[in-house]
Structure formats: structure tokens, C-alpha cells
């Protein structure tokens, strides 16, 4: 199994690299560290100066050598430099070329403004990647945890997603712990009280979540260790924060229903979680439409993870 | 970093390193787009604004002849660039080539000339952008007082610094202008310039022009009625006007059909630029004359900003605004795109150890030489402040100094071409013409312009009149800055001698097509 780390010699680049190392160590994968460089378009100017790409790729080799030195012994590591107008597109095509099964990046932006938000590369990857994407939260590079501790799978309100479940099972097995299934329920207290019924809505949401959890459990391999939780809160962020998280934990979510087949698309729910979570998130692309015929059109508007 | 690995070795190395497509993929630049890119390098709207005043002040009605006289050496030298660039493409361009041909000291001074030329043009671009920014705003809100703000030294310096800071910030974050924006800007400039020239000529025809001169072929003859000093001063302005168009020759390396397109794109580009310059020059002269009164181009009040003075009389208020906008856009876009080569020239010198190593650092997030870019911005700002306080006509003086700087480093590059290729100059007719004859003639003309302008620039009357101790400001801006560079070079020689001892970039000579690069170079 190959994991591709999209690297920049920046703090969030280190976050991504360290997550890549953690995952590779957990599942026994090899690492491909990739820097994508912008091709040097010949820019009109009064002093024509070319040859910048050579300088840039020499510098990238230096950065990559430093990154590879950070990878501990025992993990097979190769480094690559590729040129693409878009960092995200470059990573996706490298992932396809190398047949990597996961792209790992640091999710945070590196600027003063972007530190708490999703970086632009991550944003683009979330809209176009054809392979699962692992997002390292800001500051993961400071963690001393070596392996994934526990895997949490977020169950949406729509029909289950086989690939997300399979990935979670694989990771859980590698980590040697049980799989935690969670269903997050957002209850808008003001809106609900205006409608008069408080407990009934809450009950209905919980009943639905329970159904979804049971459906997921039903397809799990027999005797696979699993725990399940339903958590509610005023918002999804609120609900996800009520869960207990430990350093080394990881959450898996599926793509939004809005995603085209075999593409990632982070739904609003998952995006909200990403903003508050301090654990890595793996986003799984939506499977082929053929294998998901149960999906009714009415679900298009919803964007559950 | 040798930059001259043969293509096969480079390709092999790239494959080993997992490199895929690089840069402008073959098949991206056609004849037309190549020419457009070439034209946008020259930024004709800005260039004409900046150079007409200086040229008219020096040579009056001989302006068309001077445009041709400046065109010739730039045309010839452009071939030196093409030949060197196709054999030894390198981020350091003139700096690297002249070091290879003539050793570290001449190479350093050539690189210094290139760096200073970009600094001077950045300050001039910012100044013109500011001038036309206020002119345009003043016209839009119909308040002449706003247009006058550009003449207030404090406001002018403050606004210029803001423009420079913005352009530095954009460039240091690796944001570049897209080709499409360049196309639109070039198209807009050319249309407005042509409309301006044609309207001026029509008004002359209708007897509606203040001067209404009759066309005279003598205007195109540089050999009569011109003192050598005036001729050379004019040529420095004209050399500046053609600076940069050689880019479309080097663009040819990546174009659709490498054997044909560069020639056609380059020719189309240079012919359009030359014709535009000549047309505009003739039109403004016939319309306004070169008298020192009123709208005359010789009027010192108009010299710095010919379009500013003529736009409204020729085109009327509403269309005149478009001319202001075209020059503003041209200057602002060039200000932004010129930061990139300015930073890269310093980056290359830093990478070879000719400048402190910090200049070679690349920002890991934006993947551009952010440090060199910021230094370029700070030096440009400092240069502009000093010149504004000393000079009576900043734009005129900076263009005159720029012409000197370009003659210096283009001249050295032309000779470097001849010397670098010395073993193969007469192996074919192509080599004899493009590696020997053209660069040699171009180099000799540029050297002559450079030498004569030493004396001429000392005379304050030849530019704005600004002087220190009776010696013209242009002398200090041109030769003074080169002398300062020589001092810095000696400082670098004793603090970081590696480059000067040939350890980072060795002297080299071409042996045959590409084979020289197989020799081990010290690096």
C-alpha cells in the first residue's frame, strides 16, 4: 500500500508529513512524498529571465531530502517533484500515476489568516480528488503519538457508504482497537422550541440515528469489536466536541451526496467538523452511482457526511 | 547549479527525479500570441509616455530617426540573447553568460547593471502609474486639482510608495498576471494609441491642430542636423523604448514550430512596435510641433508627460480618459510583472555566490524568491525617494539613466556572445551572422553610446537640469551607481571570495553544439 504525502516545507506541510508517517506505521504502508511546483510560465517583462524551474526543483530536492530524513527507519520512502499549475491537481495525478491509495496533506493554511481555516490546496483537493484524502489538523507535528489509537466512523443520516466502512475496518484492524461508530445529531434549540415539540424531534432524530448505526453494524464482519454512540448538540460542531477524543484518534467520513461519483466533496457537516476537530480526518470519495442505486433524488439537497 | 547541462542529460535527470512536464509545454505559443507577449514585454503605452519627452528634448523633430537609431543596436543584440539563451539557458541570463565569457569581475558588473536597470525601471513604472492614476481620477471626477496632486512631492512619494508596496506584496506571494490579462491590456493599449495617432493626423489634415506641421522625410534621417551629444542622449531614450522585446525571440524556444515561429513572432512583434512608435511620434510632432510654447513637445511642462498634455486636445475629454487608463494599466501591469525578473536576477547572483546567500532563498510556501523580491521593493522605494528629492524631472532623469544602464549590460552581453562562441563563429553562415556579426555590431554601437553618454550626462542641461556640484544628476544615477556597484563587488570579493575565484561559476567557452557542457564544471 502506498500513501502519498503532499508536502511543502511549511508548518502545515510538516503536519501532513507526520500524519503520513503515523498512518504508514499503523498500516505498514510505504510513503511517497511529493512536492508540486508551478511551471514557470514565460511572463512578459522587460528583462527576460528563464531557467527558474531548475533552481526551484533543486530547492525542492533539498526540502524533500529534509522531509525524508524526518521519516523513521523502517518505512520505505520515495520523494518526487512534479510540475503542475495547481498543487491539488498535481497531487491527484501523481497519486494516480503511483497508484497511491491515500493522499495526505496538512489541512490548515499557513498564512496568518489561514491558520484556523482549510488551506486552499485542501479546499481544491476536497472538490476534485478521486482517492481518499487524509487531513492533518494544525499542530499534529507536535504530537508524539506513533500510531493510530482509535478509529471513529461518522455515520450520516443517509444510506451507508461501503468504502468508508471498509477503510475504517482496515484502519481499526491495523491499529488493533475497536471501531467507534458515531451518529451526530444537530438539534437547533431555538428553531425546535418555536415549532413547539422539543422531545419529539429529538426522539425522532435519535431513532433515525439508531437505525443508521444498526445498518452499519449489520454489514460489519462478524465479531468485529465495535462501540456505537449517538451524540447530539445545538450544532454539529457542538455534537462532535461532546465526544471524547484522545491524541492519536482519527475520524473517517464519507463524501457529501452532492459529490459526483468517484470524487470527493466535503459536505457542510464534515466541513464544520473539520473546523473544530483536533484529530485527523479521512474523507472517502463517493462510490460509483451504479453501486449506490438506493439513493433517492430527494437526498440531493442534503449534505451529510 | 550549472544551467547548461545538455538536454538529453537534463531529461534523464528529470525522469530519474520524477519530473514530468516542464514549463511552457511545446505547442503553447503561436506566432500571434508570441508577438502579443513580445509587445506586452515592451508595454508600448508606458514606454512611449516615458521616452517621448526625453527624446524630443534632445533631438526635436529628429525623433523618428532616433527611434530607428535605437532600434538597430537592440535588434542586433537581441540575436546575442537568442543564441546564448538557446545554448545556455540560465536564470542569471546576462550575468551568467558574461561571467562565463569574461570572468567574475565583468560578469558581476554586468549583473549589477541588470539588477539596477530593473530597479530604475520599477521606480519609473511606479511613478508613471501614480501620475496617470491622479490624471485619470481627476478627469473622472472632473476636478483638475486632483490631477495636480501628482506634482506635490510629498503626496507623489507617498502614493508611489503605496504602489511599490502593493506590487512587492503581490509578487512576493507568487501571484502573477495571467496571459489573458496581458492580451487584454496589450490590445487596449494598441487600440487607444492607434486611435490617438490617427485622430491627431486627421486633425492635422483638417487644419485643426495647434502646430499642423507638414510631414517631412528628413525626420527619418539621423545623419543631418544633429549634434553627436544630442544624438546619443536621444538614443539612450530610444534604447529604453525597445528594451525587452527580445523576449519574443527567446519565447521561440517553446513555440509550436521552433524552426519557424520564433522568427515570425519576433518579426511581427518588432515591426508592430517600431511602426507604432514611428506613427505616434510622427502624429504628435505634426499635431503639436516641438515648440517650447503651449502644447509644443519642447515645452518643459509637457516633456515629462506628453500624453497627459495631449490626450484631451486630441481625443476630447471622454476618450482622452481612455488614454490615461491605457497608460495607467500598462505601467501598473509592467510594475507587477517586472518584480519577477528583478528578484530572479538577484536570486541568480545569490545562488552563484555573487550576492549574499540570503538572496537565493526561496519561500517554501509561495515558491518564489520572497527575500529578493522584498529587497527589490525596498531598494526601488529608496531609489525613488532619493531621486524625487534631487531631481527636477524624475521621469526624464530615470529614463536617461536607464538607457545608460541598458547600454552597459546589453553591450557586455553582446560581446559575451561573440567571445563565448569564439570557437564556432565561422563554422556556418548562420553562426557568422547571428553569433558574430549581429552581436558584434550591436555591442559596438551600445559601447559607443555608453562611452559618449559619460560626457553628455555630466552636463545638467542634457536632462532635467538637476545637478550635484555642477555635474548632471544623470551622471550619478548611471555611472555613479555603477561605481557604487564596483565598491560592493570588492566588498563581496573579500567577504565571500568563492564566486570570484571561479568556484561557483567557471569561465567557459562553447566547443560545439552542447558538447561543452559535458565537461565537468566546478560547482
- Angstrom distance (rounded) from CA B304 to CA B309: 9
What average pLDDT does range A241-261 have in this prediction? 79
Which range, A86-90, A281-285, B62-66, B290-294, is most confident? B62-66
What average pLDDT does range B282-307 have in this prediction? 86
List the single residue in A59, A83, A110 with the smallest CB-CB distance to B22. Answer: A83
Which chain B residues in 153-192 lie under 8 Å from chain A, judged by CB atoms? 174, 176-177, 179, 182
Say yes or no for a CB contact (<8 Å) between A47 and B93. Answer: yes
List the single residue in A43, A55, A56 with the smallest CB-CB distance to B176. Answer: A43
Mean pLDDT, chain A, integer: 79
What average pLDDT does range B10-22 have in this prediction? 36
List the single residue in B1, B20, B244 with the smallest CB-CB distance to A47. Answer: B244
| A25 Cβ neighbours under 8 A, 6+ residues apart | A72, A74, A75, A146, A147
Which DSSP state fits B214?
Answer: P
**Is residue B372 within 8 Å of A76, Cβ to Cβ?**
no
Cell of B500: 570570484
| Residues of chain B contacting residue A44, judged by C-beta atoms under 8 Å apart | 37-38, 40-41, 182, 244, 247, 337
Does A9 lie at the interface with B, CB-CB under 8 angstroms?
yes
Query: Domain extents for chain B?
Result: 26-500
| B280 Cβ neighbours under 8 A, 6+ residues apart | B48, B52, B193, B196, B197
DSSP letters, chain A, are: -EEEEE--SSHHHHHHHHHHHHHHHHHT-EEEEEEEE--------SS----HHHHHHHHHHHHHHHHHHHSPTTS-EEEEEEE-SSHHHHHHHHHHHHT-SEEEEE-B-SSTTGGGSB-HHHHHHHHH-SS-EEEEPTTGGG----S---EEEEE-SSS--HHHHHHHHHHHHHHTSPEEEEEEEE--HHHHHHTS-SHHHHHHHHHHHHHHHHHHHHHSPTT--EEEEEEEESSHHHHHHHS---TT-EEEEEPPTTSPTT-----HHHHHHHHH--S-EEEE----GGGGTT--GGGGG----
Cell of A105: 496533506
Mean pLDDT, chain B, integer: 84
- Structural domains of chain A in order of their starting residue, each with its CATH number: 2-142 (3.40.50.620), 151-301 (3.40.50.620)
Which chain A residues in 224-243 lie under 8 Å from chain B, judged by CB atoms? none
| Residues of chain B contacting residue A49, judged by C-beta atoms under 8 Å apart | 91-93, 340-341, 344-345, 348
- Angstrom distance (rounded) from CA B182 to CA B37: 8
Q: What is the pLDDT of residue A188?
A: 65
Q: What is the pLDDT of residue B210?
A: 87
Does B291 lie at the interface with A, CB-CB under 8 angstroms?
no
Say yes or no for a CB contact (<8 Å) between A57 and B19. Answer: yes
Q: Find the helix or strand (DSSP H, E) in which B417 lies.
A: helix B394-420
Confidence bin at A190 (pLDDT 50/70/90): low
- Tell me the three state secondary structure of residue B255: strand
Which chain A residues in 53-92 lie under 8 Å from chain B, judged by CB atoms? 53-59, 61, 63, 79-84
- Angstrom distance (rounded) from CA B90 to CA B100: 12
| Residues of chain A contacting residue B345, judged by C-beta atoms under 8 Å apart | 47, 49
| Residues of chain B contacting residue A63, judged by C-beta atoms under 8 Å apart | 364
User: Terminal CA-to-CA distance of chain A, rounded, Å?
Assistant: 25
Confidence bin at A92 (pLDDT 50/70/90): very high
List the single residue in B90, B347, B364 with the smallest CB-CB distance to A8. Answer: B364
**Is residue B364 within 8 Å of A13, Cβ to Cβ?**
yes
Mean pLDDT check: name the lowest of A202-206, A260-264, B327-331. A260-264
- Angstrom distance (rounded) from CA B397 to CA B233: 11
CA neighbours closer than 13 Å in the CB half-sphere of residue B393: 24
Which DSSP state fits B149?
Answer: G
Does A278 lie at the interface with B, CB-CB under 8 angstroms?
no
Confidence bin at B2 (pLDDT 50/70/90): very low
Confidence bin at A101 (pLDDT 50/70/90): very high
- Most distant CA atoms of chain A, gap in Å: 72
Q: At what angle do helices B179-205 and B306-351 cross, to 10 degrees?
A: 150
Does A194 lie at the interface with B, CB-CB under 8 angstroms?
no
List the single residue in A10, A47, A83 with the smallest CB-CB distance to B345. Answer: A47
- Angstrom distance (rounded) from CA A6 to CA A17: 8
∠A255-A261-A263 over CA atoms, to 5°? Answer: 55
Q: What is the pLDDT of residue B409?
A: 94
- Angstrom distance (rounded) from CA A103 to CA A134: 6
Instruction: List C-alpha distances in Å: A179 to A224, A251, B213, B383.
Output: 8, 10, 91, 65
| Residues of chain A contacting residue B251, judged by C-beta atoms under 8 Å apart | 42
∠B351-B357-B363 over CA atoms, to 5°? Answer: 80
What average pLDDT does range A268-293 have in this prediction? 71
- Angstrom distance (rounded) from CA A256 to CA B72: 64
- Angstrom distance (rounded) from CA A33 to CA B113: 41
DSSP letters, B462-505, are: GTT--EETTEEHHHIIIIIHHHHHHHHHHHHHHH-TTTTTTSSS
Pairing mode, if any, of strands B467-468 and B471-472? antiparallel
List the one residue out of B301, B381, B313 whose CA is nearest residue B130: B381
- Tell me the three state secondary structure of residue B508: coil
- Angstrom distance (rounded) from CA B239 to CA B405: 10
Neighbouring CB atoms inside 10 A of B493's CB total: 16
Judged against a pLDDT cut of 70, whether residue B227 lies above it is answered with yes
Min Cα distance A250 → chain B (Å) is 27
List the one residue out of B29, B31, B27 whose CA is nearest residue B268: B31
Q: What is the pLDDT of residue B248?
A: 61
Does B16 lie at the interface with A, CB-CB under 8 angstroms?
no
- Name the residue with higher pLDDT: B399 or A119: B399
| B165 Cβ neighbours under 8 A, 6+ residues apart | B377, B381
Neighbouring CB atoms inside 10 A of B116's CB total: 26
Say yes or no for a CB contact (<8 Å) between B93 and A48. Answer: yes
- Angstrom distance (rounded) from CA A264 to CA A32: 21
Cell of B166: 502593493
- Tell me the three state secondary structure of residue B18: coil
Q: For residue B72, with 0-12 CB atoms within 10 Å meaning exposed, 13-18 middle and 19 or more buried, which class applies? A: middle
CA neighbours closer than 13 Å in the CB half-sphere of residue B381: 17
**Nearest 10 degrees: Cα torsion B397, B412, B248, B273:** 40
DSSP letters, B26-84, are: TT-B-HHHHHHHHHHHH-HHHHHHHHHHHHHHHHGGGHHHHHHHHHHHHHHHHHHHHHH
- Tell me the three state secondary structure of residue B378: helix
| Residues of chain A contacting residue B24, judged by C-beta atoms under 8 Å apart | 39-42
CATH dotted code for B26-500:
1.20.1740.10
- Tell me the three state secondary structure of residue B177: coil
Neighbouring CB atoms inside 10 A of A60's CB total: 27
Q: What is the pLDDT of residue A61?
A: 94
Which DSSP state fits B461?
Answer: G
Does B272 lie at the interface with A, CB-CB under 8 angstroms?
no
Query: pLDDT digit string (tens) for B118-161?
Result: 999 999 999 999 999 999 999 888 888 888 888 889 999 999 99
- Angstrom distance (rounded) from CA A174 to CA A191: 43
Q: What is the pLDDT of residue A96?
A: 93
Q: What is the pLDDT of residue B175?
A: 78
Instruction: List C-alpha distances in Å: B469 to A84, B15, B153, B214.
Output: 56, 61, 23, 43
Cell of B481: 551607481
- Angstrom distance (rounded) from CA B206 to CA B313: 14
Hey, of B15, B19, B265, which one would you mutate to test binding to chain A, going by the most A CBs within 10 A of its CB? B19
Neighbouring CB atoms inside 10 A of B64's CB total: 23
- Angstrom distance (rounded) from CA B234 to CA B331: 22
- pTM for the whole structure: 0.83
**Is residue B368 within 8 Å of B170, Cβ to Cβ?**
no
List the one residue out of B40, B125, B127 whose CA is nearest residue B336: B125
Q: What is the pLDDT of residue B20?
A: 30
What average pLDDT does range B76-81 have in this prediction? 89
Cell of A91: 497531487
What average pLDDT does range B356-372 have in this prediction? 92
- Tell me the three state secondary structure of residue B220: helix
Instruction: List C-alpha distances in Å: A190 to A183, A238, A268.
Output: 22, 15, 20
Instruction: List C-alpha distances in Å: B487 to A234, B98, B349.
Output: 70, 19, 16
Query: How many percent of chain B have pLDDT more than 70?
Result: 88
Q: What is the pLDDT of residue B173?
A: 86
Amino acid at each position: 500500500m502506498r500513501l502519498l504525502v503532499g508536502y511543502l516545507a511549511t508548518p502545515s506541510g510538516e503536519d501532513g508529513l507526520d500524519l503520513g508517517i503515523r498512518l504508514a506505521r499503523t498500516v505498514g504502508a510505504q510513503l511517497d512524498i511529493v512536492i508540486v511546483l508551478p511551471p514557470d510560465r514565460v511572463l512578459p517583462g522587460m528583462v527576460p529571465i528563464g531557467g527558474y524551474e531548475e533552481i526551484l526543483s533543486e530547492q525542492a530536492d533539498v526540502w524533500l531530502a529534509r522531509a525524508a530524513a524526518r521519516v523513521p527507519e523502517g518505512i520505505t520512502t520515495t520523494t518526487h517533484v512534479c510540475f503542475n499549475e495547481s498543487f491539488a491537481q498535481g497531487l491527484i495525478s501523481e497519486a494516480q500515476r503511483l497508484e497511491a491509495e491515500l493522499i495526505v496533506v496538512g489541512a490548515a493554511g499557513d498564512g496568518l489568516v489561514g491558520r484556523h481555516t482549510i488551506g486552499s490546496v485542501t479546499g481544491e483537493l476536497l472538490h476534485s480528488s478521486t482517492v481518499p484524502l487524509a487531513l492533518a489538523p494544525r499542530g499534529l507535528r507536535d504530537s508524539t503519538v506513533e500510531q493510530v489509537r482509535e478509529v471513529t466512523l461518522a455515520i450520516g443520516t443517509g444510506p451507508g457508504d461501503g468504502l468508508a466502512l471498509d477503510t475504517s475496518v482496515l484502519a481499526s484492524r491495523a491499529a488493533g482497537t475497536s471501531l467507534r461508530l458515531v451518529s451526530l445529531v444537530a438539534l437547533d434549540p431555538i428553531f425546535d422550541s418555536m415549532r413547539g415539540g422539543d422531545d419529539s424531534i429529538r426522539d425522532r432524530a435519535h431513532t433515525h440515528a439508531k437505525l443508521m448505526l444498526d445498518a452499519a453494524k449489520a454489514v460489519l464482519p462478524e465479531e468485529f469489536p465495535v462501540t456505537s454512540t449517538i451524540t447530539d448538540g445545538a450544532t454539529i460542531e457542538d455534537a462532535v466536541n461532546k465526544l471524547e477524543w484522545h491524541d492519536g484518534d482519527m475520524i473517517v467520513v464519507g463524501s457529501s451526496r452532492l459529490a459526483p461519483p468517484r470524487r470527493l466533496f466535503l459536505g457542510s457537516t464534515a466541513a464544520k467538523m473539520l473546523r473544530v476537530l483536533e484529530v485527523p480526518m479521512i474523507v472517502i470519495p463517493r462510490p460509483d452511482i451504479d453501486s449506490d442505486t438506493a439513493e433517492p433524488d430527494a437526498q440531493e439537497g442534503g449534505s451529510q457526511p | 547549479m550549472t544551467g547548461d547541462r545538455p538536454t538529453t542529460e537534463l531529461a534523464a535527470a528529470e525522469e530519474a527525479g520524477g519530473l514530468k512536464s516542464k514549463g511552457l509545454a511545446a505547442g503553447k505559443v503561436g506566432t500571434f500570441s508570441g508577438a502579443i507577449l513580445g509587445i506586452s514585454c515592451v508595454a508600448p503605452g508606458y514606454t512611449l509616455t516615458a521616452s517621448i519627452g526625453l527624446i524630443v528634448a534632445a533631438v526635436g523633430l529628429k525623433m523618428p530617426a532616433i527611434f530607428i537609431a535605437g532600434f538597430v543596436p537592440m535588434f542586433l543584440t537581441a540575436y546575442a540573447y537568442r543564441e546564448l539563451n538557446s545554448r545556455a539557458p540560465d536564470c542569471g541570463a546576462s550575468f551568467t553568460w558574461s561571467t562565463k565569457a569574461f570572468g567574475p569581475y565583468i560578469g558581476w558588473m554586468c549583473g549589477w547593471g541588470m539588477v539596477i536597470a530593473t530597479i530604475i525601471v520599477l521606480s519609473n513604472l511606479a511613478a508613471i502609474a501614480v501620475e496617470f492614476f491622479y490624471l485619470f481620477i481627476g478627469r473622472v471626477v472632473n476636478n483638475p486639482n486632483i490631477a495636480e496632486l501628482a506634482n506635490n512631492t510629498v503626496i507623489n512619494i507617498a502614493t508611489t510608495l503605496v504602489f511599490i508596496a502593493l506590487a512587492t506584496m503581490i509578487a512576493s506571494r507568487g501571484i502573477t498576471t495571467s496571459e489573458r490579462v496581458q492580451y487584454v491590456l496589450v490590445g487596449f493599449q494598441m487600440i487607444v494609441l492607434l486611435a490617438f495617432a490617427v485622430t491627431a493626423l486627421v486633425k492635422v489634415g483638417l487644419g485643426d491642430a495647434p502646430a499642423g506641421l507638414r510631414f517631412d522625410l528628413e525626420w527619418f534621417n539621423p545623419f543631418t542636423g544633429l549634434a553627436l551629444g544630442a544624438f546619443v542622449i536621444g538614443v539612450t531614450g530610444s534604447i529604453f523604448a525597445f528594451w525587452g522585446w527580445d523576449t519574443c525571440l527567446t519565447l521561440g524556444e517553446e513555440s509550436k514550430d521552433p524552426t519557424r515561429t520564433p522568427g515570425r513572432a519576433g518579426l511581427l512583434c518588432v515591426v508592430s512596435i517600431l511602426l507604432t512608435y514611428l506613427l505616434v511620434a510622427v502624429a504628435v510632432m505634426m499635431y503639436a510641433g516641438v515648440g517650447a510654447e503651449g502644447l509644443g513637445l519642447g515645452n518643459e511642462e509637457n516633456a515629462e508627460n506628453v500624453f497627459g498634455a495631449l490626450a484631451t486636445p486630441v481625443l476630447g475629454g471622454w476618450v482622452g480618459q481612455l488614454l490615461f487608463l491605457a497608460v495607467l494599466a500598462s505601467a501598473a501591469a509592467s510594475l507587477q510583472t517586472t518584480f519577477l525578473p528583478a528578484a530572479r536576477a538577484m536570486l541568480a547572483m545569490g545562488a552563484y555566490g555573487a550576492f549574499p546567500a540570503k538572496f537565493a532563498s526561496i519561500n517554501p510556501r509561495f515558491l518564489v524568491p520572497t527575500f529578493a523580491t522584498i529587497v527589490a521593493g525596498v531598494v526601488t522605494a529608496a531609489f525613488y525617494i532619493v531621486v524625487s528629492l534631487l531631481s527636477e524631472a524624475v521621469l526624464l532623469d530615470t529614463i536617461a539613466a536607464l538607457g545608460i544602464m541598458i547600454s552597459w549590460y546589453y553591450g557586455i552581453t553582446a560581446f559575451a556572445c561573440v567571445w563565448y562562441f569564439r570557437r564556432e563563429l565561422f563554422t556556418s553562415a548562420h553562426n557568422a551572422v547571428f553569433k558574430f556579426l549581429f552581436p558584434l555590431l550591436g555591442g559596438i554601437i551600445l559601447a559607443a553610446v555608453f562611452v559618449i553618454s559619460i560626457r553628455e550626462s555630466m552636463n545638467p542641461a542634457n536632462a532635467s537640469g538637476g545637478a550635484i556640484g555642477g555635474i548632471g544628476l544623470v551622471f550619478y544615477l548611471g555611472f555613479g551607481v555603477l561605481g557604487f556597484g564596483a565598491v560592493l563587488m570588492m566588498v563581496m570579493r573579500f567577504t565571500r571570495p568563492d564566486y570570484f575565484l571561479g568556484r561557483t561559476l567557471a569561465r567557459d567557452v562553447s566547443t560545439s553544439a552542447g558538447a561543452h557542457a559535458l565537461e565537468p564544471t566546478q560547482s
